[in-house]
Amino acid sequence: SHSFSFPNPTNNNVADHLGLPPLNPWLDVFLDFDQGANYAIPGATALASLTPFALGKQVSWHLDLVAEVHNRSSPSHLTLPTRRTSEAQPQKRLPTVQSLHDALYVIQIGGLDYRTYYSDLDYPPEFVSDTIVPLVVEEIRTALEVLT
């Protein structure tokens, strides 16, 4: 029962409905992620030109988590003492390699891209449908390819 969520905080409602635990936000570095991670950022978009926390950045956070999980599962991984103490620091709880494969991944993004171009930037609907929609779809498709 692990899940990983990209951009909409309401995805925790979906997880709750499915009986999954709520997800800790990825940017809170003091929390554990053994049940999954929520990469959602209010105001996130698919297109990087609109926000620094676009879908591509959130996918890179997930890839960082995956790399950390794989590094910890390797036999050469050790918990090293910190500079201030000779005691090893407790490791943050992470999902297992298997749970990464079995997890529910939820990606809900793109609507804010359309609204921003149409309402906030005052582009005509034809521009949004002919230009922005294909760009957003391509960004989501690329993210899915990277994640699989």
**Taking 60 as the threshold, does the pLDDT of residue 9 lie above it?**
no
Per-residue confidence (pLDDT) for residue 110, from 0 to 100: 93
What digits encode the pLDDT tens for the residues 30-73? 888 888 888 988 899 999 999 999 999 999 999 999 999 999 87
**Taking 60 as the threshold, does the pLDDT of residue 137 lie above it?**
yes
Interatomic CA distance for residues 104 and 84, integer angstroms: 39
**Taking 50 as the threshold, does the pLDDT of residue 78 lie above it?**
no
Tokens of 110: 């793109």
Interatomic CA distance for residues 131 and 107, integer angstroms: 22
Q: Which residues pair with 94 in a beta bridge?
A: none
**Contact present, 94 and 65 (Cβ < 8 Å):** yes
**Contact present, 12 and 112 (Cβ < 8 Å):** no
Q: Which of 6, 44, 1 is nearest to 25 (CA)?
A: 6
The whole-number average pLDDT for the span 134-146 is 96
Interatomic CA distance for residues 69 and 93, integer angstroms: 10
What digits encode the pLDDT tens for the residues 83-124? 444 555 556 788 899 988 888 888 889 999 999 999 999 999
60 CB-near residues (< 8 Å, 6+ apart): none
| DSSP helix/strand/coil, 23 | coil
Per-residue confidence (pLDDT) for residue 88, from 0 to 100: 53
How confident is residue 139, by pLDDT bands cut at 50, 70 and 90?
Answer: very high
Comparison of pLDDT for 118 and 5, the residue scoring more: 118
